[in-house]
Amino acid sequence: MEEGNSSFKFSGKKTKSDLAKLQEEHDEKMAAIKELKKKREEMKLQLSKENISEEKKETFRKLTEKYKKMNDEYNSLLG
């Protein structure tokens, strides 16, 4: 029985470590999502104010795609 208990304790520590890693990854992705969302909103505002070059519009589209991808990854971590 003691072996089973020590194995369980080790497994528990590993799980805590895994959870800590997942939490850190989650926090990093949340920060990246916030930053991308901010950039996206800034770009959206600029586009609405003036006639922007096609290059800047393409940059906006890429930022939007990246934001959506990271948001999907975040939601899959939660789900």
| 14-44 residue pLDDT tens | 688 889 999 999 999 999 999 999 999 998 8
pTM of the prediction? Answer: 0.48
Domain extent listing, the chain? 25-79
Give the Cα separation of 32 and 22 in Å (integer). Answer: 15
pLDDT of residue 16: 80
Give the H/E segment covering residue 13.
helix 2-49
Model pLDDT for residues 52-70, shown as the tens digit of each residue? 678 888 888 999 999 999 9
Question: Which position has the token pair 């800034």?
Answer: 42
The backbone region for 77, taken as left when phi is positive above 0, alpha when psi lies in -120 to 50, beta otherwise, is alpha
At 77, list the tokens: 């971590």
